[in-house]
Structure 1
Amino acid sequence: MYARIFGFAAVAACLAMPVSAAISLGEAAGSYTINPAASSIRFTIGKAGGGGFDGAFGRFKGTIRIDNSDVGRSKVDFTIYPESVGTGQGRIDAFLRSDAVFDAANSPEIQFRSTSVTRTGDTSALVAGRLTARGKTFAEKFTAEFDGSKGGTIKFHVTGKVLRSRYGMDVGTPLYSNIVNFDMSLTGKRS
């Protein structure tokens, strides 16, 4: 009888557990290389009176290391190549690559290196780090939501807001917003 009660309690506990908790941190722990073919980095910039534009970066690379003994020691390193920016409008793409915005010829990389990872929920974390663009480095924060793990891959949905003026990219303000909204879907392959 005790075995039956214990078995029922164990099943009830498993059912009460969030689905995401079914994958233990130990199972997800390890090092991953971002797969650009299965990932995307999108952004939007609003415009006064509505509208604005959105775009994406076609070239990027990165790694994610999840530490199962201390989530705070997990690491994210990311590099975006601004010459790969695309909005679907050639004139805007050329302008974004120019020295008025990304200065891709002289600053060919945008880098993010995490300094801390803080768990904020069962499937979410706040990733703080240093973002470097156009030779300027500032602290930035992004929210990462765990989207699952399967067959040696891991998925995250990452969002954040960056002030472009900090990096000398404030051309067009205040007509165009100073805030760049990032929306990223990242898939990593265990390395």
Structure 2
Amino acid sequence: MNTRILGLAAFAACLAVPAVAAVALSDAAGSYTISPSGSSIRFTIGKAGGGGFDGAFGRFKGTIRIDNGDVGRSKVDLTIYPESVGTGQGRIDAFLRSDAVFDAANNPEIQFRSTSVTRTGDTTALVTGRLTARGRTFPEKFTAELGGLRGGTIKFHVTGKVLRSRYGMDVGTPLYSNVVDFDMTLTGRRG
């Protein structure tokens, strides 16, 4: 059960981070604040016939609390600010921020709140929670892998797929995929 808690911390929901070494739960237990330094939230949306586009969110915040005794009491909270979306293409960025997609002016936050975790391996877990975007909330699942713990800093690699149509962001389908692939690196600092 203690190892399951490590997996929950992993979401505190995107580049691959290999598992460096096994971490004792007693060493990982505690509260962490997600640090923008060493963290990234990246996504990809495919396009029919190949291509598509990649992007990232520049602003986000969150916390991870790993409970040493009960995985059910561990928590992950993540807030993403959609006005910070960036693809490297100004026209696409403006479109994504508009009311056609994120409607960032009226919906300034995307939130994920964990509800459960299931251990899937020594350093991995399936994290389930409630994702809220554009005023709509649905359950979502993400796979988390512990990347390491050193000097009060914990790192996770988190991946998952979200259907954008659930949140009223399905403009451009079927030319552009309805599936958004997330790939996150989340670094938390104890305290």
Q: TM-score, normalised by structure 1?
A: 0.89
Q: Please name the residue that 1:33 is paired with.
A: 33
Provide the rounded CA distance (Å) in 1 between the counterparts of 2:127 and 2:146: 12
Counterpart residue identity of residue 161, structure 1: K
Among the aligned pairs, what percent are the same residue?
Answer: 86
Distance between the aligned counterparts of 2:20 and 2:53, measured in 1? 36
Q: Normalising by the residue count of structure 2, what TM-score does the alignment of the two structures yield?
A: 0.89
Tell me, yes or no, if the aligned pair for 1:72 and 1:118 is still in contact at 8 Å: no
Indicate yes or no: 2:53 matched with 1:65.
Answer: no
Identify the residue that residue 106 of structure 1 maps to in structure 2. Answer: 106
In 1, the alpha carbon distance for the partners of 2:108 and 2:159 equals: 23
CA distance in 1, matches of 2:26, 2:70: 11
Partner Cα separation in structure 1 for residue 149 and residue 121 of structure 2: 17
Q: After TM superposition, which residue ranges in structure 1, 4 or more long, deviate above 6 angstroms?
A: none
Question: In structure 1, how many angstroms separate the alpha carbons of the residues matched to 2:65 and 2:117?
Answer: 11
Gaps of 5+ in 2: 1-18
Unaligned runs of 5+ in 1: 1-17
Instruction: For CA contacts below 8 A with separation 6 or more, give which structure has more relative contact order.
Output: 2
Counterpart in the other structure of 2:133: 133
Q: How far apart, in 2, do the equivalents of 1:131 and 1:19 lie?
A: 30
Give matches, 1:36-185, under 5 Å: 36-185=36-185
Matched residues, number: 173
- Aligned equivalents of 1:58, 1:156: Cα separation in 2: 18
Aligned CA RMSD, in angstroms, stands at: 1.1
SS in 2 for 1:39: strand
